[in-house]
Amino acid sequence: MSKIAHCPSYYAASANAAPARPALQGSVAADVCIVGAGYTGLSAGIALAEAGYKVVVLEQAQVGWGASGRNGGQIVHSYSRDIDVIESHFGRAVAEPLGRMMFEGAQVLRGRVTKYGIQCDLKDGGVYAAMTTKKVHQLAEHQALWEQWGHKDLSLITDKSEMRKLVNSERYAGLLVDKTGGHFHPLNLALGEAAALERNGGVIHEHSAVTRIDRGATAVVHTAQGQVRARFVIVACNAYIGELEPKLAGMSMPCGTQVIATEPLGALARELIPSDYCVEDNNFLLDYFRLSGDQRLLYGGGVIYGARDPAHVESIIRPKMLKTFPQLKDVKIDFGWTGNFLLTLSRLPEVGKLSDNIYYSQGCSGHGVTFTHLIGRLLGEAIRGDAERFGAFARLPHYPFPGGRYFRVPFTALGAFWYEMRDRMGI
Ligand SMILES: Cc1cc2nc3c(=O)[nH]c(=O)nc-3n(C[C@H](O)[C@H](O)[C@H](O)COP(=O)(O)OP(=O)(O)OC[C@H]3O[C@@H](n4cnc5c(N)ncnc54)[C@H](O)[C@@H]3O)c2cc1C
């Protein structure tokens, strides 16, 4: 069987060394079988292996091959729809427990990096950037909301010279600084988490695509050359689930977003982002960027509904980068790649069970770095018998996309176009 390699990203080119993890052969038993070695699967696996469970992870490609090894590497708190939207749609009782957890994912992530000494260029500090006065008001509302929920370490800056000390671009009318945000090398985080799981006795089989999951008190998870018999299964395949569980695929839509990496910029790098914080703007279709450990600018943005792989990533993202930093017009782009995140209609994660002992979590809708770390912990709690916090997410309704598999792409693109127009008008 041919092996699926990492996409040609800057992250793959600068990945830490990792052991070969052979494909599953034959029949093995486990307490928990996890399908997918992204942050969701690895985070849950660590939580369970630390608690003494025998964990086997099956990954169709390699650790971190999906969004977890390709993303912007930005630590963003809360959920893709913020807690005020959750409260207004579903009421205070539903929002309350989620609000109490909205900053916990970043703690899980940082805790793992510290505990296991993961080398992933982790740096503190993030910035949300607004391009118009109206958008600055939205940042102020954002600050007030997070403060209500206990996050007191935010500051809103509108003075131009102060802003330039953080992000040296003419583009912005205001910056909301979050010292508890941050950024890191995403693939190296995934590889470090895989090693942490293995240190706790977990086993990871790469190149082991799951083809079928048989339900039952002991579930049987099949690959081409083997099976895992397990008391519990976690499906953590997100945007790359394909045909494995049609119910999960039907409630969500894979979307592509693209990233480029410049050549190393030397001293120019800190002229662009003197703070070395990560940055994302607060447009509906947002741009996100930061410096890498070796002083490249990593710049991402754009959304392709339905997740086709574009042929020329650089031609899509470079113009966005030059709007923010025109001084980079002669700089060479060394890497360009695409990755898929999973959009849900509500833009809230979909969490639940397919049967008594088969769990799933998917659909962070673009902001999944912290949520995947949180939900890994909550999946661990649920399987160990305390499903209260997991249940707080599982209670959120899941909606099918209008238009089904054929028309969900144009319908969603049409909706997004409306928001994009509003952003262009600065409202
Ligand atoms: C380009 C990009 C930039 C992003 N930037 C940010 C950011 O800066 N901050 C942020 O918060 N979020 C960001 N996100 C979102 C974030 O990366 C994701 O929400 C998160 O990584 C999802 O993790 P996951 O483990 O659920 O899924 P994934 O990391 O996609 O992992 C799923 C895994 O399941 C495996 N799999 C699928 N089917 C099977 C099968 N049948 N058998 C075995 N294995 C299977 C896949 O190979 C894959 O490795 C970004 C996403 C992308 C694509």
What does 20-85 look like in DSSP terms, one character per residue? --PPP-EEEEEEEEEE--SHHHHHHHHHHHHTT--EEEE-SS-TT-SGGGTS--EE--S-SS-HHH
Ligand 1 and 289: CB distance under 6 A: no
From residue 370, alpha-carbon distances to 40, 140, 383 in Å are 10, 22, 20
- 394 and 354 Cβ atoms separated by less than 8 Å: no
Residues 6+ apart with CB under 8 A from 341: 67, 71, 238, 239, 254, 255, 257, 364, 365, 366, 368
Nearest to residue 362, comparing CAs of 134, 9, 65, 66?
66
Residue 341 Cα to ligand 1 midpoint, Å, equals 6
Which pLDDT score, from 0 to 100, does residue 359 have?
98
Which pLDDT score, from 0 to 100, does residue 412 have?
56
Which pLDDT score, from 0 to 100, does residue 302 have?
80
User: Which among 4, 34, 60, 62 is the best mutation to test ligand 1's pocket, defined by most ligand atoms within 8 Å of the CB?
Assistant: 60
Which pLDDT score, from 0 to 100, does residue 413 have?
58
Ligand 1 and 76: CB distance under 6 A: yes
Which pLDDT score, from 0 to 100, does residue 5 have?
94
Ligand 1 and 360: CB distance under 6 A: no
Ligand 1 and 375: CB distance under 6 A: no
Which atom of ligand 1 sits closest to the CA of residue 366? 15
Residues 6+ apart with CB under 8 A from 359: 232, 233, 234, 235, 352, 353, 379, 382, 383
* 3-class secondary structure per residue, 296-308: CEEEEEEEEECCC
What is the value of pTM for the model shown? 0.95
Ligand 1 and 70: CB distance under 6 A: yes
User: pLDDT tens for residues 170-223?
Assistant: 999 999 999 999 999 999 999 999 999 999 999 999 999 999 999 999 999 999
User: Which among 71, 120, 187, 212 is the best mutation to test ligand 1's pocket, defined by most ligand atoms within 8 Å of the CB?
Assistant: 71
Residues of the chain with pLDDT under 70: 1, 307, 402-427
Residue 340 Cα to ligand 1 midpoint, Å, equals 7
- 277 and 125 Cβ atoms separated by less than 8 Å: yes
> How far is it, in rounded angstroms, from Cα 125 to Cα 54?
36
From residue 105, alpha-carbon distances to 265, 296, 368 in Å are 32, 27, 9
**At 347, is the secondary structure helix, strand, or coil?**
coil
DSSP character at residue 216: S
Ligand 1 and 66: CB distance under 6 A: yes
Ligand 1 and 221: CB distance under 6 A: no
Which pLDDT score, from 0 to 100, does residue 311 have?
79
Which atom of ligand 1 sits closest to the CA of residue 240? 37
Which pLDDT score, from 0 to 100, does residue 308 have?
72
- 281 and 130 Cβ atoms separated by less than 8 Å: yes
User: Which among 1, 127, 341, 373 is the best mutation to test ligand 1's pocket, defined by most ligand atoms within 8 Å of the CB?
Assistant: 341
Ligand 1 and 35: CB distance under 6 A: yes
Residue 362 Cα to ligand 1 midpoint, Å, equals 9
Ligand 1 and 78: CB distance under 6 A: no
> How far is it, in rounded angstroms, from Cα 195 to Cα 117?
10
The CA angle 190-196-201, to the nearest 5 degrees, is: 130
User: pLDDT tens for residues 247-276?
Assistant: 998 888 899 999 999 999 999 999 999 999
Residue 194 Cα to ligand 1 midpoint, Å, equals 15
Ligand 1 and 372: CB distance under 6 A: yes
Which atom of ligand 1 sits closest to the CA of residue 242? 38
Residue 239 Cα to ligand 1 midpoint, Å, equals 7
Which atom of ligand 1 sits closest to the CA of residue 43? 25
